[in-house]
Amino acid sequence: MTRKQRRSRAAVDTSAPTIKQVAEQAGVSTATVSRVLAGADGVSVELSKRVRAAVGALDYQPNRIARNLRVRGTRTAGLVISDIQNPFFTSAVRGIEDVLQADGYTLLLGNSDENPARERVYLATLRAEGVAGIIVAPSGAEVSEYRKLASARVPLVVIDRNVSGLSVDVVTVANADGAHAAVAHLIGLGHRRIGLIAGPPSVATSGEREAGYAKALAAVGLPLEAELIRYADFRQGGGYAAAQALLDLTAPPTAMFVANNLMTLGALQAIHERGLRIPADIAIVGFDDMPWATSLQPPLTAVAQPTYEMGATAAQLLLARVREPDRPNRHVVLATQLIVRASCGNRML
């Protein structure tokens, strides 16, 4: 019925113009139109002009779907991230977008929300949608899921968290080094009881950061005390609870290292609620530098991750693989940087 209505209104053709209509209007064949639009040489100036005029008159937009079907490939790349609300990822998205866009690609973005089931759905959809390749920030789907993609020869690059047992391109940061630098800095400032608010043990990045913490302590012969290490969920609420626990200790830490940005927010909240002073009562350094770090009082010392660069690198890797499917895999590890501000305290004070 709806359909009939639409058809009967057909005095003005409401549907998008096709290449055929352009060809008619210009008095040429569709092949010529296609050539002009593709910028192929070997078309006379005269016809070229007529085609362009017709395109303009009709406001013609080539149908990408038809084109994609014909050339069996799209100028679209897929991205599935695990938390679109986390600035860490949005910054990476920009990096990805910038290099992709420069190559004429469009980004199809999905947000798995740290939910493996949702991640699977997006992976499948993206594949069915015929994307040229996929960049994924894993959120716990089984390795087999990624393998399926790989065996279907869908270019795949993994970012942020490595997936063990999977050989694809991956770009991560030097998590252990970053954590090590942060904790070593705290030690250098005289701290001996340093709390760690770690992420879920199951997540690769979390383990690496914990290893960096341990290594920094070991380097100066400090013991690894279980009570000083709290595992949370990488979210604000988890960081809040973990900080509470740490602060409740009979011998609370004099400093804490928080393994991600959202948990740092939670820890800060716990500290403020108790009226504790930073860094006099408790020093704090976070992992991942954020826009709000400089707006805190005192400004937050943090391990900065090159998020934009991570995204850009991943996109480059993807593009390279699209061009050359059989090139060897690469794992690029980006360096972090400790940004020292005031929340960690300072010898001078």
- Grouping H, G, I as helix, E, B as strand and the rest as coil, residue 33 is helix
Query: What is the rounded (10 degree) CA torsion for 35, 36, 40, 42?
Result: 90
- Grouping H, G, I as helix, E, B as strand and the rest as coil, residue 115 is coil
Return the residue of 49, 63, 327, 331 that touches DNA, per CB under 7 A: 63
11 vs 251, beta carbon nearer DNA? 11
- By CB under 8 A, tell whether 41 contacts a second copy: no
- Grouping H, G, I as helix, E, B as strand and the rest as coil, residue 172 is strand
Alpha-carbon distance of 57 to 22, in angstroms, equals 9
- By CB under 8 A, tell whether 349 contacts a second copy: no
71 vs 226, beta carbon nearer DNA? 71
Minimum CB–partner distance for residue 222 and a second copy (Å): 29
The three-point CA angle 132-315-76 to 5° equals 30
Q: Which does 113 bind (CB under 5 to 8 A by kind): DNA, a second copy, none?
A: a second copy
- By CB under 7 A, tell whether 62 contacts DNA: yes
- By CB under 8 A, tell whether 125 contacts a second copy: yes
Rama region for 339: left / alpha / beta (φ>0; ψ in -120 to 50; rest): beta
Give me the residue label for tokens 């200790």. Answer: 249
Return the residue of 2, 8, 14, 44 that touches DNA, per CB under 7 A: 44
Q: Which does 47 bind (CB under 5 to 8 A by kind): DNA, a second copy, none?
A: DNA
Alpha-carbon distance of 10 to 5, in angstroms, equals 9
Minimum CB–partner distance for residue 91 and a second copy (Å): 6
Alpha-carbon distance of 271 to 281, in angstroms, equals 9
How many residues of this chain interact with a second copy, rule: CB under 8 A?
Answer: 58
Return the residue of 144, 153, 223, 226 that touches a second copy, per CB under 8 A: 153
- By CB under 7 A, tell whether 38 contacts DNA: yes
- By CB under 8 A, tell whether 226 contacts a second copy: no
Residue 76 has phi, psi (to 5 degrees) of -130, 135
Alpha-carbon distance of 113 to 139, in angstroms, equals 8
Q: Which does 59 bind (CB under 5 to 8 A by kind): a second copy, DNA, none?
A: a second copy
Question: Residue 185's closest CA among 48, 94, 303?
Answer: 303
> Which positions from 244 through 263 interact with a second copy, judged by CB under 8 A?
262
- By CB under 8 A, tell whether 266 contacts a second copy: yes
- Grouping H, G, I as helix, E, B as strand and the rest as coil, residue 282 is coil
- By CB under 7 A, tell whether 29 contacts DNA: yes
Which span sits near a second copy by CB under 8 A: 24-32, 162-170, 289-297, 310-318?
289-297
- By CB under 8 A, tell whether 268 contacts a second copy: yes
Question: Residue 264's closest CA among 294, 242, 246?
Answer: 242
61 vs 202, beta carbon nearer DNA? 61
> What tokens does 228 get?
């000083």
Q: List strands edge to edge, sheet with 331-334.
A: 106-111, 76-81, 133-136, 156-159, 169-173, 331-334
**Residue numbers of the site for a second copy (CB under 8 A)?**
14, 16, 59, 61-66, 68-69, 74, 76, 84-85, 87, 90-91, 93-94, 97, 101, 106-111, 113, 121-122, 124-130, 148, 152-153, 236, 262, 264-266, 268-269, 272, 290-292, 294-299
